[in-house]
Structure 1
Amino acid sequence: MTVHTVTRHDISFDSSGDTCAAWLFLPEGVERPPVVILGHGLGATREMRLDAFAERFAQAGIAAIAFTYRHFGDSTGQPRQLLSIKRQLADWDAAIAHVKTRGDVDGSRLAVWGSSFGGGHAIVVASRHPELRAAVSQCPFTDGLASARALGPVGTMRLLPTVAADVAAQAFGRAPVMLTLAGAPGQKALMTAPDALPGYLALVPEGTTFINEVAARVAPTITSHRPGKAAKRVRMPILFCICDHDSVTPPEETLAYAKTAPKGEIKRYDAGHFDIYLGSAFEAVVADQTDFLARHLEA
């Protein structure tokens, strides 16, 4: 396989009046290449290893756009650190619409790629966009109740006063009350598995600031969110990359949902939720994803 030289461009696109900051990775020597859009997980930005995946895809002749959701990182949107499932799905729609206007990529050969919470978004987006050629859902969040069970009843109860305070703040137009995203076991946070905090921090490159908090009002919407149910409505090929030792998005539920996708392909890895971005686990998963995307995007 030809390994292309890759150039990275800073781009942005509009989403409901705000701006999503993004990178476009273009393979040199390929005229109007197919393209894959990459979105990250819970509170994460594109700097946290999305570039590593995007660069590999572009080396294989597939253009890649890695973007940051509104309200996070260097994308706009007020208040900051607001995690809205509805708005993030709208950001995906905006990214797809933007790709279709570009002359330097082939918007008719388009795929989506999401990881963790974004892996759940990729399933929903694929179910809503039949024009897509393919989708990749990596260590996906598929079932809020399953993830709540992973947090445990005590961990869940610990969040309630902060959630109530933020809901009140929203009602009275005050600044959001924040909740820690990833914490140590026993802390008040959305994720408290032993590998959650070190796993998140390992993805942050030197010189990049990762704000480890979100507006607490998101917690109830996460618990009720079940994007895995959309898998049965995904008509194009979709690759599920499942970590067998996932402490955040339990693999049993993900596997059950993945099996309902009419054209689903399943790959399993001897890895934890955060291992998949680095080292040998990354090398294994990115090779499988590149092969899958090249086949279905005719790269």
Structure 2
Amino acid sequence: MAAVLRQDITLGGEVAAWLWHPEGATGAVVLGHGFSAVRDQRIDAYAERFAEAGLAALLFDYRHFGASGGQPRQLLDIKRQLEDWRTAIAYARGLDGIQHVGLFGSSFGGGHALQVAASDPNISAAVAQCPMTDGLQAALRMPPKTAVRVAKVALQDELGSRLGRKPKYIQAVGRPGEVAIMSAPDSQPGFESLTPEGSQWRNAVAARIGLWVGTYRPGRHAASITCPVLIAVCEQDSLVSVDAAAKVADDAPQGELARYPIGHFDIYTGEWFERAVTRQAEFLARHLTATTTP
């Protein structure tokens, strides 16, 4: 199929989104990115490929990030991000001709996709790529000294927010030893490899999220995901638990697992992107293009 034109739209007044809507599409995929990430950091490449496969694709920036509205900036609120997913899903369901809606989430967004799929029985398929399924396991990967420094700033930010103060920010990604949520050796070069010139991504988050990441464990709800779900894991992942993600595929009634012998950021580009997106597009097209029974 020829390239599909991208449209700029706004959902719910604040959520900036890109829409690809091929003529005759009966299935739509809602896409959301990972921790602090925005839509131009290679996740748009997945949306384009899904559109080429005949699916409508709706890719959004979370509120407080990128092109979306919301103050203060760079505030990562898990509850609000899940609300943004549901806002996008509602919009996708209202598109002309759409009968089935699926989800694609990557990294932190992969956890969100699983959380939403577990709570919405009308989702027809979901893909979670290098997903953060267990925040506690992810938090335990942080070096102890870094964890203490992050927690100190996070507590200051949380207390300050309750007093109406401006956020205290920390880096989303940094080099090993720096105060950042992600400081594995491949974190900073990985983000740099995904970020085009002129991107609206900022390497900052309100530090309070450091107190709550460990409590977010969307993989626990895998057994409640009734739709087919494809879990794509990077076996050399430095940021999220591969075992916890693989367990989701085992626990979900219709789970499938794809393993790739690469690191967390390698799946977004080059050969491994091609391998992953080809399987993902086939999976989504298979489950989202069936006609509704009269």
TM-score (norm 2): 0.96
CA distance in 1, matches of 2:200, 2:102: 29
Corresponding residue for residue 15 of structure 2: 20
Q: What SS class does the counterpart of residue 245 from structure 1 fall into? A: coil
Partner of 2:58: 65
Question: Is the partner of 1:24 in helix, strand or coil?
Answer: strand
Q: Which runs of 5+ in 2 are unaligned?
A: none
Q: Separation in 2 of the partners of 1:5 and 1:72? A: 27
C-alpha displacement at 1:258, in angstroms?
A: 2.3
Aligned counterpart in structure 2 of residue 212 of structure 1, from 187, 203, 208: 203
Unpaired runs of at least 5, structure 1: none
Letter in 2 for 1:5: A
Q: Tell whether the 8 Å contact from 2:67 to 2:200 is kept in structure 1 after alignment.
A: no
Encode CA deviations 1:87-141: one digit per residue, 9 max, x unaligned: 00010111111112222x40x2110100000000000110111111100000000
Shift of 1:76: 0.4
Question: Could you tell me whether the CA contact under 8 Å between 2:248 and 2:255 is conserved in 1?
Answer: no
The alpha carbon displacement at 1:153 in A equals: 2.1
Deviation at 1:257, TM superposition (A): 2.7
The whole-number CA distance in structure 2 between the counterparts of 1:122 and 1:114 is: 5
Query: Matches of 1:11 and 1:209 in 2, distance apart?
Result: 17
1:160, distance to aligned residue in structure 2 (A): 1.8
Matched, 1:54 2:50: no
Q: For 2:5, what is the secondary structure of its paired residue?
A: strand
- Residue 96 of structure 2 is aligned to residue 139 of structure 1: no
| Distance (whole Å) between structure 2 residues aligned to residue 215 and residue 246 of structure 1 | 25
For residues 85 and 198 of structure 2, what CA distance do their matches in structure 1 show?
27
Question: Does structure 2 conserve the Cα–Cα contact (< 8 Å) formed by 1:4 and 1:61?
Answer: no
Say if 1:4 and 1:58, in contact at 8 Å, map to a contact too: no
* 1:111 aligned counterpart, secondary structure: strand
* 2:8 paired residue number: 10
AA matched with 1:82: L
SS of residue paired to 1:44: coil
Return the letter of the residue paired with 1:26: H
Q: Distance in 2 between matches of 1:128 and 1:119?
A: 15
* Residues 142 and 227, structure 1, Cα contact 8 Å, conserved in 2: yes
Q: CA deviation at 1:51?
A: 1.1
Q: Deviations over 1:53-95 (max 9, x none)?
A: 0000111111101100000011001111100000000101111
Higher RCO (C-alpha 8 Å, min separation 6): 2
In the aligned structure 1, how far is the partner of 2:25 from the partner of 2:177?
Answer: 50
Paired residues of 1:23 and 1:65 also in contact (CA < 8 A): yes
Return the match for 1:284 from 251, 275, 278.
275
SS of alignment partner, residue 178 of structure 2: coil
In 2, Cα distance between the equivalents of 1:42 and 1:203?
13
Identity of aligned residues (%): 46
CA distance in 2, matches of 1:271, 1:11: 35
Q: How many matched pairs?
A: 290
Contact kept, 8 Å, 1:228 with 1:258, in 2: the verdict is no
CA RMSD in angstroms, aligned pairs only = 1.2
Query: Take 1:53 and 1:144, find their aligned partners in 2: how far apart are those partners?
Result: 25
Q: Is the 8 A contact 2:93 2:100 kept in 1?
A: no
Alpha-carbon distance between aligned partners in 2 of 1:4 and 1:264, rounded to the nearest angstrom? 31
| Aligned pairs (5 A) from 1:26-45 | 26-27=21-22, 30-45=23-38
